[in-house]
Structure 1
Amino acid sequence: MISKIKRFVALIAVAAVIALPTSYFLIPHGERPSLKIQHPSKTSKLSYLERLESKALAGDANAMFRMGNNYKYGYNGLKPDNTKAIEWYEKAISHGDADAMNNLGVMYKAGEDIEQDYSKAIELFEKATVLKNGKAFSNLGSMYQDGKGVPKDYKKARELYLEGVEVGNTYSMANLGFLYYFGNGVEKDPDEAQAWFLKAAESGETMPGLQFMIGLYYFDGHGNQKQDLMQARLWFEKAAKQGHADAQSFLGNFYYYGQAGLSVDYIKAGEYYEISAQNGNAYSKEFLDKVIKNCNLYRYKILSLKANISCLVAAPSGDPQAMYITGLSFYFGTRGLLDKDYERAAEWLQKSAKAGNVWGQIKIAKMYNEGLGLKEDPIEAYAWLSVVENQKNIADALKKTKADIRDNIYKNFNQSEKKKADLKAQKYIELYLAKEN
């Protein structure tokens, strides 16, 4: 099992080197306030901006820079506006503000609402490094590392990163780690790379790509470090919380195989695969496509172990059949896989019913009518059976049986309950009738 995951690691590592720039791990970074923005009332927001603008107009370079940030990132109730951000950064630069030089350099490098110009970006980064701006050292180093606007020069990049480290810049530490990890301009040294990665991580900067690489180091057991799946998992979790697709995929694998101190949990694995696929991980998407196909392929063997596993993994993706079989698995209990759990059965059957699965609708109606796993609610049961009666993809005999049950439920309602039941039934028919109808 480990070898399967290692092959996956090799694939994504190669893809990162061949197809993706350095920014795959560390995006070009402008200077942003590290504190969370408070959300006062609209009046106080306006007064804050008015006070800040007043300082800026009076010649305060830092206030000009902060005005630029407010427009760049949409802080304090403003809509993001790169054009106005550029205007304020340029004013701040004219007053010698190094952070503004760095941020505008990043915008020239990326071509954000301004014509992309590597030469201009380099010029601004160089001016900021003269003023010992840490992020500018890192950004200028990345220009040399990637060969953007200048010939590729790993030695020069390393020198700039070291200067950035001297002024405490976290990104420079991380980028030095990448040079050693991939052996760019230096002898490949995974232990030296990890030392820089950890030093950067200890700074408190939230860099998911960096956290993923630290996890990968522990996962593979590079250099003098033996494989440590528990440590790998901790770092992957940090990166996954910030949306790192590869880290999310690894966590899916850990839950799928029951590794890194985790018990096997196919549903949890599916949750991680699903969000990983949404965030662009091709491996997770391919695997989910496969389990969804298998789940639907074995739909007539719904209590088989193979069908159960595929459907449990596929359920978080929202596949109606997968959610239905997952609900049934909890309803009956599956030997060696799941214990009987009516509450979780109701949860998944409800989801499948809302996705238009007629069998899920029949089952959830029964659970509402009998109070299994949720509060007994005949009106809910009636509404779901009304949906079933209007489905076209079930046999007439079964439809009639369910209609008879529905009518018997209806007979016991008083006038007020009948009115509520009819309204809910109509609403559910509009919302949850299968698409093929």
Structure 2
Amino acid sequence: MRRLVFLIAPLVMMAMGCSTTPGDAAYRAGHPQQAAELYRAGANQGDAEAALKLGLLLDEGKVSPATFGTAGQAFTKGCKLGSLASCHNVGVAYEYGKNGLDQDRSEARTYYEKAAKLGYMQSQYNLASLYANRYFSNDIEGYKWLLVSQMQAEKCASQPLCEWVLRDPPGHKQKLHDRMSEQDLRTAKQQASAWR
């Protein structure tokens, strides 16, 4: 699971090199402090992508929380502004108790669900993980989200993160499967198919 978390930040930071959010040029030029100032200004003006990028700079320790607040705060703002990646990162922060947010798996589930329902594959997978690891007791729901995440991953199977979700190294699919009746498996599969 932790490997999945680590895969997401580099992918988003790589995308920063291709995007045009104010602050990107400063970041590419090696000025994270200036980039963070511009991202904060953008976030304060309602730019969800700027809030996400500020959160990533904070998460990676490139700028100080004393100056810019915590990554959890930036991601929460980004989520409120509509960034699914930010919602996912708030979920991760709550799941593991990091980035200025206390561990609270119920909150993690809330944020993962928000992004998962809007099609964010990583949140779908992490949601399934919470159920597979018995933090919540609804194996049908967990199996459904695992199947949905893998359907999403099939669309990008050649990319490392998608390939990882398809392989499911932690074995979440098997954990859930082994605990479920045939009827429960059918129900989860029907729900996953209907989700498309």
- Would you say same fold, with TM above 0.5? yes
Q: Which of the residues 64, 69, 85 maps onto 1:115?
A: 64
Deviation at 1:35, TM superposition (A): 11
Q: Deviations over 1:355-410 (max 9, x none)?
A: xxxxxxxxxxxxxxxxxxxxxxxxxxxxxxxxxxxxxxxxxxxxxxxxxxxxxxxx
Q: How many equivalent residue pairs?
A: 170
Uncovered stretches (5+) of structure 1, i.e. residues with no partner: 1-21, 38-61, 225-437
Deviation at 1:140, TM superposition (A): 0.6
TM-score by length of 2: 0.66
Q: How does 1:371-390 map to 2 (within 5 A)?
A: none
Instruction: Give the direction of change, closer, same or farther, for the CA distance of 1:203–1:186 in structure 2 (3 Å limit).
Output: farther
Deviation at 1:36, TM superposition (A): 9.3
- 2:83 matched residue in structure 1: 133
Q: Deviations over 1:401-421 (max 9, x none)?
A: xxxxxxxxxxxxxxxxxxxxx
Partners in 2 of 1:32 and 1:168 — Cα distance?
21
Deviation at 1:101, TM superposition (A): 0.6
* SS of alignment partner, residue 106 of structure 1: helix
* SS of alignment partner, residue 101 of structure 2: coil
Q: Which of the residues 5, 24, 27 maps onto 1:69?
A: 24
Contact 2:94-2:101 at 8 Å conserved across structures? yes
Deviation at 1:130, TM superposition (A): 1.8
- 2:113 matched residue in structure 1: 162
- 1:82 matched residue in structure 2: 32
Partners in 2 of 1:202 and 1:213 — Cα distance?
9
Instruction: Give the direction of change, closer, same or farther, for the CA distance of 1:175–1:110 in structure 2 (3 Å limit).
Output: same
Contact 1:26-1:207 at 8 Å conserved across structures? no
- 1:212 matched residue in structure 2: 164
Q: Which of the residues 14, 20, 25 maps onto 2:4?
A: 25
Contact 2:150-2:165 at 8 Å conserved across structures? no
Partners in 1 of 2:153 and 2:23 — Cα distance?
28
Partners in 2 of 1:171 and 1:155 — Cα distance?
17
Q: Deviations over 1:223-264 (max 9, x none)?
A: 27xxxxxxxxxxxxxxxxxxxxxxxxxxxxxxxxxxxxxxxx
Q: Deviations over 1:58-116 (max 9, x none)?
A: xxxx95x2x423443x3xxxx4432332232123223221111111112222312x125
Q: Deviations over 1:262-300 (max 9, x none)?
A: xxxxxxxxxxxxxxxxxxxxxxxxxxxxxxxxxxxxxxx
- 1:201 matched residue in structure 2: 153
* SS of alignment partner, residue 25 of structure 1: helix
Deviation at 1:186, TM superposition (A): 4.1
Deviation at 1:158, TM superposition (A): 1.1
> CA RMSD for the aligned pairs?
3.6
Instruction: Give the direction of change, closer, same or farther, for the CA distance of 1:119–1:143 in structure 2 (3 Å limit).
Output: farther
Percent of paired sites with the same residue? 20
Instruction: Give the direction of change, closer, same or farther, for the CA distance of 1:144–1:205 in structure 2 (3 Å limit).
Output: farther
- 1:105 matched residue in structure 2: 55
TM-score by length of 1: 0.33
Contact 2:94-2:104 at 8 Å conserved across structures? yes
Uncovered stretches (5+) of structure 2, i.e. residues with no partner: 179-196
Instruction: Give the direction of change, closer, same or farther, for the CA distance of 1:108–1:35 in structure 2 (3 Å limit).
Output: closer
Work out which structure has the larger RCO, using CA pairs closer than 8 Å and 6 or more positions apart in sequence. 2
Matching residue's letter, 1:144: Y
Deviation at 1:216, TM superposition (A): 4.5
Q: How does 1:340-355 map to 2 (within 5 A)?
A: none
